[in-house]
Amino acid sequence: MGGKYKEKLEKEHIKKNRISKKSKISRSCLSYVISFFRFIYDIIVSFIFDYIYKNTPPKILPPVEDQLVLDSCITIVNKIKNREVTCRHIVECFIKRIKQVNLILNAVVDTRFDKALSEADEYDKLIELADTEDKMNLIFDGKPLFGVPFTSKESTGANGMAWTFGLLSRTGIKCNEDAEVVKSLKTAGAILLGVTNVPELNLWCETRNKVYGQTNNPFNTNYSAGGSSGGEACIVSACGSPLGLGTDIGGSARIPAFNCGIFGHKLTTGLINTKGMTFRKGTEKHTMVSAGPLTRYAEDLIPTIKALIGPEKSLELKIGQEVELSSLKYYYVDEPNDKRVSPISDELKIALELVLNSITSITELPPLKVKLSSIRYSYSLWRYWMTKEEGTDFATALGNNQKRVSVWLEVPKFIVGSSNHTLAAILKLIDMELPKVNSTWANAETEKLSNEISTLLGDDGVLFFPSSPTTVKRHYEPFLHPYNFSYWAIFNVLKLPVTQVPLGLNKDGLPLGIQVVAGKNQDRLCIAIAKYLQQTFGGWKPPFTKITN
């Protein structure tokens, strides 16, 4: 009897194994089929946009007329301190540059040039009165950005500046106080020049709205500047501003930083006060949004971060403290395997390989390839956590918090051309009507991934992660690749610090890059690697001829 029972169990076990193997084979075949159709789809989309833009020559940016606009923030501060240049002259140079390039780029949408010059004059008077070294040091104490011009997103409140968020219903609205992050930079001595373009309500990876229009990429005006900090990254790369203030809830600072070939850092979530960022009050208990600097040079990330988070947090997080790169642990992901997202292009794979080879030369252990299983759910997890953002119901925000915009009314209006909203906003409304992400599943997967990556990185680990499946896309092309932004968005879900690092240009003159990720509150590790990669690969490349004389 026992022998027959044992034989029966063995047969059932063999049967289950056969079913399991068949299931694995089926899943594998399905995966290959999906990948094949994805490959064909991407080729067709690329072909269509090649055809659309084949007879549209890009507009070329004029060369800079004054070498000063090529300087880093740190260099500018040192020149002011050494009395080599006045604050007024610096501000004048960047104002002139904005006027030169903005007609081509449409990046800056409101300015305060006269007030900026007046503030520069006030700073110059302080320097004139500083007749001793001690007095001079006192002026610069606590002001790491003394005299440095900067720009900020139009959706981030700045006193006296336009504050529409790209909504037609808010046209003409001005902000009556500075957002906390703007206030922090001003306290650090920076001088606001103006505010820059954003997509409608910030929720799209291109910068376009019905108030100000579309922002163009400085490297090729047929291409997207990215979003939502697209105007910001664009004007910084074009040398209209040495420093940009970006915000980031789904890659909003890092996407345009990648597209425009500059550095963009997303601070560990929770380090800054969100008051003044669109409708936010700064009292939200749970949010994915953060902020951070957009700069042409890695060295400018540290003083800006210090200004944003304050001296106490800077000391606690050891911002600016030397990092021994050879002692860090390095990891990388080369293919996140989200089937909704385009595969990583060969040129970005090569860029990653070059980074890994360079890191291998400075450390005993080479970077270790890792597979983070839940990464393939990046978009679904981000979509779920967006529904948990406090006080930011998209349909209500789209109605300027005065009414809830109905997708059933807005889609027909859009079709006949009478909608006041962009296609990106309409698609977001449609997305809100689709089946919700299961909360139990999303919470479990988020916790699993968070624990996995926290254990992996600890306080001495760095992860290299693809910035994007491909280099920057042409205008409107991202609508046909709506999930590609999730390579950035997953780190908003995880609330980790990330630096977007430029790695030069491809054969078509478009920026390459990589994301550098660290554990929570380990922002300094990201920045240390960014500085090293800048030294190795050259960092930002100007999207114009450098100088006329």
Domain segments of the chain as ranges: 68-381+437-537, 382-433
Token readout for 434 is 């689709």
Q: Which residue has the tokens 């006329």?
A: 548
Q: Where in 352-479 does DSSP place strands (E)?
A: 368-369, 461-466
Provide the 3-class DSSP secondary structure of residue 335. Answer: coil
- With a cut of 50, list the residues of the chain below it in pLDDT: 1
Max Cα separation, the chain?
105
Residue 464, pLDDT score = 98
> For residue 104, with 0-12 CB atoms within 10 Å meaning exposed, 13-18 middle and 19 or more buried, which class applies?
middle
Catalytic status, residue 252: yes
End-to-end CA distance of the chain: 98
Q: Which of 72, 184, 229, 252 is catalytic?
A: 252
> For residue 358, with 0-12 CB atoms within 10 Å meaning exposed, 13-18 middle and 19 or more buried, which class applies?
middle
Residue 39, pLDDT score = 86
Instruction: Give the span between the Cα atoms of 80 and 234, in whole angstroms.
Output: 26
Residue 37, pLDDT score = 84
Instruction: Give the span between the Cα atoms of 500 and 266, in whole angstroms.
Output: 8
Residue 390, pLDDT score = 85
Catalytic status, residue 228: yes
Q: Which of 143, 153, 520, 531 is catalytic?
A: 153
68-381+437-537 carries CATH number 3.90.1300.10? yes
Instruction: Find the DSSP H helices in 54-190.
Output: 73-81, 87-105, 113-129, 133-140, 180-187
157-191, pLDDT tens digit by residue?
A: 999 999 999 999 999 999 999 999 999 999 999 99
Q: Which of 155, 228, 374, 467 is catalytic?
A: 228
Residue 13, pLDDT score = 58
Q: Which residue has the tokens 């997967």?
A: 445
Is the whole-model pTM more than 0.85? yes
Catalytic status, residue 358: no
Token readout for 402 is 């005065």
> For residue 193, with 0-12 CB atoms within 10 Å meaning exposed, 13-18 middle and 19 or more buried, which class applies?
buried
> Residue 315: CB partners within 8 Å, gap ≥ 6?
none
Residue 228, pLDDT score = 97
